[in-house]
Amino acid sequence: MVYTRTQFVAAKELEDEEEKFLTQECKNLLLSLPKQKGWRTPYLYEFQGFWCQSKKIQAIISFQKHFISRESDVILATIPKSGTTWLKGLVFSIMNRKHIDVKNLKNHPLLHSNPHDLVPFFEYKLYSDNQIPDLSRLPDPRLFATHIPFNSLMQQNSIKNASPKIVYLCRNPLDTFVSSWHFVNNLRPKSLPPFQIEEAFKMYCDGIIGFGPFWEHMLGYWNESLKNPTAVLFLKYEAMREDIVSNLKELAKFLGCPFSVEEEQEGVIKEIAKLCCFDKMKNLEANKTGKSIKNFENKYLFRKGEVGDWVNYLSPSMVEQLSQIMEEKLAGSGLTFKLFP
Ligand code: A3P
């Protein structure tokens, strides 16, 4: 791609912004890592076996060094655009339902805050921009989120030792790709040319996307959920769209706070599902304005929330190519996806 002068200045500004908070140690490390053109930032680097932006690498190193996990912690893990925001809202509501009357929702925190404000990411929030937060005073159970792949998460010694509960939400790769492509185009400075779907698709198929390759991300958590089902719960976006009540029950049970018969009869599960459903969340003021994660406008976190929207964007040859990759990479794992509603 050839940039005009204005576009070149915009791309350079993006790069400078990206590098502003990097320590010399991180800059030195980046020099030794393989790199490729990024989706949103100038480069993605291959770090601990996955593709990652420079600022996130620094945050992950700091998180791996400083975080002290507890057995009672709950960690929500996803690859971007798999429904992270939804999962955060649901788990926050389940875990806090004893303090918040779901039958009288006027003051529920989710009505006034974006889920990313209530459940912070390690790498986008807590350990970003050289921060080392004191998390020791947070009451149990603490709730965090991450996009870090499983193997890299296990390089955090205290997590490996404490073995907190991990909930992974997975979405079919065709919809996840389309959602990622839209999201990145929305965030791109208007002075840069739009990110063409063909270019994004090639990068996705080559595994070059933040925290990817997507198949390794999914398989890391999938295999662990099979090996260790009391530590990792593997959920699917499509199944949650189809039957949210059963999934919420499974989630609550896994988290150690199952719904009682009375709660079920009183409609608590349905209230939580309603509170976090796409239309409700998309139309809340807190989700229409502001930026709960630096550089990401909240409004772009809610697009269509559908299963099967890929049919509107992918050509037959793209579908064939991606299906083949999924078949090859996921062969023998038992991990399958529903592609249509
Ligand atoms: P689409 O772009 O396909 O609409 P993440 O939260 O991981 O960034 O994922 C974003 C995707 O989840 C977007 O998908 C978004 O619309 C969808 N989404 C956001 N909130 C949702 C909700 N409450 N229920 C279902 N899907 C939701």
CA distance 54 to 152: 16
Ligand 1: which of 39, 40, 76, 81 to mutate, most ligand atoms within 8 Å of CB?
Answer: 81
Question: Atom 17, ligand 1: which residue's CA is nearest?
Answer: 305
The answer to whether 72 and 143 have CB atoms below 8 angstroms apart is no
Q: Which fold does the domain 68-330 belong to in CATH? A: Rossmann fold (3.40.50)
* pLDDT for 190: 79
CA distance 172 to 338: 7
Element (H, E) at 87: helix 84-95
DSSP bridge partners of 334: none
Nearest CA-CA partner of 135 in 169, 104, 164? 164
Which whole number is the average pLDDT over 109-120? 96
* pLDDT for 105: 75
DSSP bridge partners of 36: 44
165-170 and 74-78 strand pairing: parallel
Nearest CA-CA partner of 90 in 282, 249, 234? 249
Model pTM score: 0.96
The residue assigned the tokens 């559908």 is: 306
- 284 exposed, middle or buried (CB, 10 Å; 0-12, 13-18, 19+)? middle
Residue 2 confidence (pLDDT) above 70: no
Residues 6+ apart with CB under 8 A from 296: 187
CA distance 208 to 327: 18
* pLDDT for 109: 94
Q: How confident is the model at residue 177 (pLDDT cuts 50, 70, 90)?
A: very high
The answer to whether 200 and 180 have CB atoms below 8 angstroms apart is yes
The answer to whether 75 and 165 have CB atoms below 8 angstroms apart is yes
Ligand 1: which of 176, 280, 303 to mutate, most ligand atoms within 8 Å of CB?
Answer: 303
Q: What is the pLDDT of residues 15-50, one digit of tens each?
A: 777 777 899 999 999 999 999 999 988 899 999 999
Say which residue, 99 or 37, is predicted with more confidence. 37
What is the distance, to the nearest Å, from the Cα of residue 132 to the centroid of all Cα atoms in its chain?
A: 21
* pLDDT for 6: 73
CA atoms within 13 A on the CB side of 249: 9
CA dihedral 11, 14, 18, 20 (to 10 degrees): 110
CA distance 48 to 281: 35
From the CA of 304, give the closest atom in ligand 1: 4
Catalytic, 147? Answer: yes
Which of 108, 147, 182, 217 is flagged as catalytic? 147
Q: How confident is the model at residue 128 (pLDDT cuts 50, 70, 90)?
A: very high
Q: What are the residue boundaries of the structural domains of the chain, listed by start?
A: 68-330
CA of 160 to the centre of ligand 1 (A): 30
Whether residue 305 has its Cβ less than 6 Å from ligand 1: yes
CA of 195 to the centre of ligand 1 (A): 20
Q: What is the pLDDT of residues 45-93, one digit of tens each?
A: 999 999 999 999 999 999 999 999 999 999 999 999 999 999 999 999 9
Which whole number is the average pLDDT over 218-243? 98
